[in-house]
Amino acid sequence: VDKDALDTQVKDRKIQEAAEKARNEELANEMKQNDKIMCMLEERQKNYIRNVNKAISDFQKNFQKPETRREFDLSDPQALKKDRPARLSDNDPRCTISGLQKFMGEDLNYHQRMKFQKEQLREWSLQQQRDWKNALADQKFADDLYDKNRIELDQKTMEQQQKEEESRRAVCAATKDFNRTQAAELAERKKLEKCQKTKEDMDEISSLLQGDLLSENSEQAVSSFGRHRVITDRWKGMNRDQLMAIRYSQQQQVLEKLRLKEEERQRDAEWDRQSIQAARAHLILERHQQRQNRERRRALDNVNAELSQEQKSKNIYLKEEAYSNFPTGQYYAQFNTTSR
């Protein structure tokens, strides 16, 4: 056994215990000093509150007397002696709208006002009667004057209608004679025109029968601008060589159209192949993106779980250690200690 090492450890242990004891005594002294300071502060706070309450009571006693308050008139013992009549006159400033002391028709000179209103209504009624009689007289005079003017206007209208009827008969007679003359001239002119038209039709028929149109002469459709151009109103159709040339051209067009369709089909097939490849690449990219999203979501869930665990630990610490001290009855006793 190494006795020196054990002695050294014992010595170090005693030194550590002495240092710890000194630190504990120092902390105890500091706590005693803090308790004394807290007691002094509490005593000073109580004295301050007592002085403030006393000052408030003195102020209320000296400067807030009951007779200076706004609602003192509700409990004034001398209220009946100080009271005045509800209304001294119609213009009393105390008769406000909210006081309900004065309503329409309840003024003090009600009887004089009613008498004046009755006299005024009587005068108005008499004036209305006079106005009504004058209006009836004016209306009767206007009706008589209207009837007289209407009779005169009717007489003038009848005379004017008679004159117009006579003029109309004369015009009808003249028009009938003129129409009769015009009808005879029109019949003669139609007869001459019919004869002329019959002659012209016969000449046209003979010209057509002897012309190139009905004889179907192909030379008569050749245009003066060239042999390759024809006059449409004389042309009777194409010959066999021209028809064969047109059919050959149509066959060439059909073959050209089939070739174009085949090229378009090959081009569409190429486009479809490229579209399928693009869709497949897009699907692969979407799946890769979904895998990345799932990994990021899993990592975020882990972080949230760690944060939730930390929050729970913090709440447990606050509940069990930080907020473990409850206020005593002395804390609640300092409220509501004044008379106010």
Read off the pLDDT of residues 295-314 as tens digits, 9 standing for 90 and up.
999 999 999 999 999 999 98
The whole-number pLDDT of residue 126 equals 93
Query: Which residue type does 138 have?
Result: D
pLDDT one-digit tens code per residue, 239-265: 778 789 889 999 999 999 999 999 999
pLDDT for 272 beyond 90: yes
Provide the number of structural domains found in the chain: 1
How many Cα neighbours within 13 Å face the side chain of 292?
A: 6
- Tell me which of 52 and 234 has the higher pLDDT: 52
> To which residue do tokens 């006793």 refer?
333
* Sign of CA pseudo-dihedral 108, 112, 116, 117: positive
Q: What is the per-residue DSSP string for 261-329?
A: HHHHHHHHHHHHHHHHHHHHHHHHHHHHHHHHHHHHHHHHHHHHHHHHHHHHHHHHHIIIIIT-----H
Asked whether residue 315 is domain-assigned, the answer is: no
Secondary structure (3-state) at 228: strand
pLDDT one-digit tens code per residue, 151-205: 988 888 898 888 888 888 888 888 888 888 889 999 999 999 999 998 888 888 8
Please give the structure tokens belonging to residue 66.
């009951």
pLDDT for 340 beyond 60: no
pLDDT for 92 beyond 80: no
Residues 122, 127, 133, 138, Cα dihedral to 10°: -170
Contact partners, residue 187, CB within 8 Å, separation at least 6: none
> Long-range contacts made by residues 86-95, C-beta under 8 angstroms, separation at least 24?
none
pLDDT for 39 beyond 90: yes
Asked whether residue 272 is domain-assigned, the answer is: no
Query: Which residue type does 312 have?
Result: K
Phi, psi of 230 (to 5 degrees): -130, 160
pLDDT one-digit tens code per residue, 198-237: 888 888 888 777 666 566 666 666 666 766 677 677 666 7
pLDDT for 112 beyond 80: yes
Asked whether residue 307 is domain-assigned, the answer is: no
Q: How far apart are alpha carbons 286 and 279 in whole angstroms?
A: 10
Q: What is the per-residue DSSP string for 153-213?
A: HHHHHHHHHHHHHHHHHHHHHHHHHHHHHHHHHHHHHHHHHHHHHHHHHHHHHHHHHHSHH
Mean pLDDT across the stretch 83-111?
72
The whole-number pLDDT of residue 213 equals 59
- Supply the range of the domain harboring residue 171: 121-208
β-strand partners of 126: none
- Percent of the chain, pLDDT > 70? 88
- Percent of the chain, pLDDT > 90? 41
β-strand partners of 230: 222
Q: What is the pTM of this model?
A: 0.24
The whole-number pLDDT of residue 62 equals 86
The whole-number pLDDT of residue 276 equals 93
The whole-number pLDDT of residue 73 equals 77
Asked whether residue 192 is domain-assigned, the answer is: yes
Q: How far apart are alpha carbons 246 and 254 in whole angstroms?
A: 12
Mean pLDDT across the stretch 90-114?
74
pLDDT for 90 beyond 90: no
pLDDT for 44 beyond 90: yes
Asked whether residue 129 is domain-assigned, the answer is: yes
Asked whether residue 48 is domain-assigned, the answer is: no
The whole-number pLDDT of residue 69 equals 78
The whole-number pLDDT of residue 250 equals 93
Contact 87, 94 (CB under 8 A): yes
β-strand partners of 197: none
The whole-number pLDDT of residue 323 equals 72
Asked whether residue 173 is domain-assigned, the answer is: yes
Secondary structure (3-state) at 142: helix
Question: For the chain, what's the residue count?
Answer: 340
Asked whether residue 186 is domain-assigned, the answer is: yes
Please give the structure tokens belonging to residue 46.
């109580």
Contact 64, 56 (CB under 8 A): no
The whole-number pLDDT of residue 279 equals 92
The whole-number pLDDT of residue 1 equals 64
